[in-house]
Amino acid sequence: MSYNEKIINHFKNPKNYGKMKNPSAVGKLDNKNCGDVMWIYLKIKEDIIEDISFETLGCAVAIANSSLLTTMVKGKTIKEALKIKDKDLIKEFGQVPKVKLHCSFLAVKALKKAINNYYEKGSSSYVGRSR
């Protein structure tokens, strides 16, 4: 499998990885397709995602997606973050092999799960349902 430079760069030097201390919320996702696991940690203050990190057990593209997503989400409001779609990640990378398209979906879904977790904890009345 050959990946383009953007994917390889995020894979080689992933941004914002690792467990977060005292996160506001955590989203844990198991991928039924291939068995990969993705965890997203959020630190939220007044609807702004001040910090985000990930832990991923997965393929190179899954790791690259996790990393890319965190860079796109950091500093955004929850509303803005919820607008990010898997196709935005794919667009950012330029070219993603067909069998690897689901890895982007996985990252977006994990983020939604984390945001849901935030609301489930009762921090606000807004419920951003995950798909």
Which one from 103, 107, 111, 114 is the annotated catalytic residue? Answer: 103
**What tokens were used for 33?**
């397709």
Q: What is the DSSP string of 108-125?
A: HHHHHHHHHHHHHTTS-S
Residue 91, CA distances (Å) to 1, 6, 41, 72, 86 in order: 19, 11, 24, 13, 9
Taking the least distance from each CB to ligand FES, the nearer of 89 and 103 is 103
Contact 27, 118 (CB under 8 A): no
Q: Which stretch binds ligand FES (CB under 6 A): 11-19, 43-51, 58-66, 85-93?
A: 58-66
Residue 105 interacting with another protein (CB under 8 A): no
**Active-site residue, 34 included:** yes
Q: Applying CB under 8 A, which residues contact another protein?
A: 1, 3, 8, 11-12, 14, 17-19, 28, 33-37, 39, 54-60, 62-63, 99, 102
Active site residues: 34, 103
